[in-house]
Structure 1
Amino acid sequence: MTAEVTKPRPEREETDECLRRERDATDRALAERRALIEAKSDAAVTRARERADAALSAARENADQRSQESRLPGQASETVAEERSLEDVLVRGERALADESLRRERAAHARILSKLLPLERDKTDRHLLTERVRSDDAISHRDDFLGIVSHDLRNLLSGIVLSVDLLSQDTPAQDEESEAAMAAKRIRRYAARMSRLIDDLVDVASIESGKLATNVGRGDASALLADAVDMFQPMASDRGITLELDVADRPLPVDFDEERVLQVVSNLLMNSIKFTSPGGRIRVRGERAEGELLVSVSDTGPGIPVDMLELVFERFWQVGKKDRRGLGLGLYICKSIVEAHGGRIWVESRMGEGSTFYFTIPGRSGSSDQPVAEV
């Protein structure tokens, strides 16, 4: 079954979610700040009123004392009480006016903010939409360009390899170690490497557009791992590296895209061979674990720093910055292929002891006579 598998978390969805979170956080911060300012303002008004009341009370006491001393015979205290009652009414009226003025000022500020904020966000959204259209257009042109270039480069590489093969046919068997024969081998090796780089770039373009095609069917994982080890055994031997396979003798039937999973294992093996010194050891292991296929590729290389364990799966990222024998896309492609199958991939490493890359392929795995599941 052929399917186009969309990335589980497209970058655009992550960007939108981050934007929503930032806006929610901004709204909360704005509300908290407004509440804090209003609380401080209310506290300041309360303190001012308390000071005013204290001053008024002290002034009244002084006035009462002076009135007692200067009161004329027969002057009634009711007159003073009436005057104070009138003063209290005036004070309450002034306070009510001040409270209403403060409420209106706050309401006006809230209305201004409620009008300005949507305008700013609408402007931001329009700008974001414009940038997205430009981005989509650029991605479309990039994909078209990669498609044309990859097709033309593959044709050129095929012509180069075919020409080398024709020249090699004219080389006598006893001259296989001659300079011309060795040059032909180098050309084939370089052409194969260029072909892998082209494939990586095309795969990355497919991944970024959410169109990583997979052909899922029932396959034997143990046979696939054996094929991968056999494929890289000569390369490992040439470098003085021991390459081992540790997998159950019985079949490991799993629903997956054999070519894509073989690509994952090949990338992991190539990565391990690249960083393992002569005399080192690489082990490929396959097993069932909690209903999933669990594959691991371990090596005795230099290891990966703890702070880089997550970064190794990023695009164009390389542990050894001085080693530029690739584009830094292999592990990123591995991660995307595994996630397209619904699995996960991770690495464990200790400096000076080596690294182990793990990945899982979930789904039913059992006897080979079971029907193929659709994913």
Structure 2
Amino acid sequence: MTPTPSSLESPERDQTDSSLREEREKADREMTASRKAVEKDADAVVEHARENADAIMVAAREKADEKADGTSPLPTPSSIAIDREMEDQALREERAAADRSVRREREARARMLTRLLPLERDATDQYLLTERARSDDALATRDDFLGMVSHDLRDLLNGIVVSSQFLAQKLEKHSDSAQLLIETARIERYGTRMNRLIGDLVDVASIDSGKLAMHAVPGDVAALVAEAVDALQVTAAAKGITLAVQQPQESGTAEFDHDRLLQVLANLIANSIKFTPKGGSIRVHSKHVGDTFEFCVDDTGEGIPVAMLEAVFERFWQVGKNDRRGLGLGLYISRCIVEAHGGSIWAQSSAGHGTRMLFTLPISTTQNN
């Protein structure tokens, strides 16, 4: 048994971690730039204030010099120069001391932020890890619960279907057998639909947890197509739709999980039946394209708007808000199965002109069994 390459959660978590690292680096750059901008503005304010103070001091000295008339007992020019040099030296030392104090304060603030930021981020990381552990536990519990409930529900549904089949056999000679047989067939049909819905929900849970098992063995792709068409023939006929294998049909051998790829083809054919009106037709075929087999389900149905060709493979996608023809999981599950085989799946369509659903399967796969 080979699981899918990885769960959906691991890439999402890797992306979350990468985004978190990028955001932190961006925050660091912005914080550094902001701090430098603030310091630059502060330095500019201080420098401007010092220039004003210097200008005022120079003006005061010039004014004092002008008042000197040569008759007053003023100090000699040399003594004035010495005094002013001493004042200037004292001012320079005071400013240097102030600059050293500001630098020490800024360095201390930077060291504090450097210490506090890792602590805060460690706390955030620890909280994130705790929440992820709780989420993992919750998912594990959900998967276990879903497994048990789906098993019990399937047992009950199988009992309903078997009972309806038994009643159908006993009612063949009843006076109102025709109507009763219609009702028992309806019970059987509803039970089958419920069983399929449960299977889809279980598959989605398996995909989310990375436990969608694949068992690839050599198989005939032409026989697979024929089997899928035969399985849906009655359903198509009941709606007045022609379902057939398109000829000529190429045969070949590849490694694939028979039940899973049959599920994919059945999903695509059932989807075409769902959206093809009475009197329409569906053709299914496979052929060699390079080093792959290409499978195609071609219908004459409603078609899909070009803008929606990618969206149809998303989880819970519906044609419209009021559409109730399923949960919108079939194509999503089909995509996951095809991609787990190393292939790809896509749609070609335009509104009102039918739809072609295609997927590829490598002729030689490398899955480990």
When normalised by structure 1's length, the TM-score is: 0.84
Q: Are residues 86 and 180 of structure 1, via their aligned partners in 2, closer, same or farther at CA, if it must alter by over 3 Å?
A: same
User: Structure 1's 330 and 167: CA in aligned 2 closer, same or farther, altered over 3 A?
Assistant: same
Contact 2:251 2:287 in 1 (8 A): no
CA drift at 1:266: 0.9
Alignment of 1:2-81 (within 5 A): 2-7=1-6, 10-46=8-44, 48-50=46-48, 52-53=50-51, 56-57=54-55, 59-60=57-58, 63-64=61-62, 66-68=64-66, 70=68, 72=70, 76-81=76-81
Structure-2 change in CA distance of 1:234 and 1:13 (3 Å):
same
Are 1:364 and 2:359 an aligned pair?
Answer: no
How much does 1:51 deviate?
5.3
Partner of 2:192: 192
Q: CA deviation at 1:294?
A: 2.6
Contact 1:6 1:212 in 2 (8 A): no
CA 223–83 in structure 1, closer or farther in 2 if over 3 Å, else same: farther
Alignment of 1:286-301 (within 5 A): 286-301=286-301
Name the CA shift for 1:80/1:327 in 2 (closer, same or farther; >3 Å).
same
Spell out, residue by residue over 1:310-350, the C-alpha distance to the aligned partner (whole angstroms, 9 max, x if none). Answer: 44333333233322232222122112212221223333443
Alignment of 1:1-375 (within 5 A): 2-7=1-6, 10-46=8-44, 48-50=46-48, 52-53=50-51, 56-57=54-55, 59-60=57-58, 63-64=61-62, 66-68=64-66, 70=68, 72=70, 76-172=76-172, 178-246=178-246, 249-305=249-305, 308-362=308-362, 364=364, 374=368
Q: Deviations over 1:166-202 (max 9, x none)?
A: 2222344898971111112112211211221222122
In structure 2, distance between residues paired with 1:90 and 1:248: 103
CA pair 76-317 structure 1, distance change in 2 beyond 3 A: same
Cα drift, residue 258 of structure 1: 1.4
8 Å contact kept, 2:268–2:331:
yes
Is the Cα contact below 8 Å between 2:250 and 2:287 reproduced in 1?
no
- Distance in 1 between residues matched to 2:250 and 2:211, nearest whole Å: 34
CA distance in 2, matches of 1:12, 1:193: 32
Structure 1, unaligned stretches of length 5 or more? 366-371
Contact map agreement 2:249 2:287 (CA 8 A) in 1: no
TM-score (norm 2): 0.85
Residues 152 and 54 (structure 1), Cα distance of their counterparts in 2 relative to 1, 3 Å cut: closer
Q: Distance in 1 between matches of 2:211 and 2:218?
A: 22
SS at match of 1:72: coil
Q: Which runs of 5+ in 2 are unaligned?
A: none
Distance (Å, rounded) in 2 between the aligned partners of 1:120 and 1:301: 58
Distance change in 2, residues 1:136/1:271 (3 Å): same
How big is the shift at 1:264? Answer: 0.9
Residues 13 and 111 (structure 1), Cα distance of their counterparts in 2 relative to 1, 3 Å cut: farther
- Match for residue 369 of structure 1? none
Question: Structure 1 residues 76-85 or 18-27, which shifts more?
Answer: 76-85
RMSD: 3.1
Corresponding residue SS for 2:326? coil
Structure 1 residues 279 and 116, CA, compared in 2 at 3 Å: closer, same or farther? Answer: farther
Q: 1:144 to 1:72 in 2, by over 3 A?
A: same
Post-superposition offset of 1:69? 5.4
Partner AA of 1:225 in structure 2: V
> Mean Cα displacement is larger for which, 313-322 or 184-193?
313-322
| 8 Å contact from structure 1 (residues 222, 247) kept in 2 | no
Q: Over residues 132-181 of structure 1, what are the superposed CA-to-partner deviations in whole Å (9 max), with x where a residue is unaligned?
A: 33323332332222222222222222222222222222344898971111
CA distance in structure 2 between the aligned counterparts of 1:348 and 1:40, rounded to whole angstroms = 58
Distance of aligned partners of 1:75 and 1:154 in 2 relative to their CA distance in 1, 3 Å threshold: closer
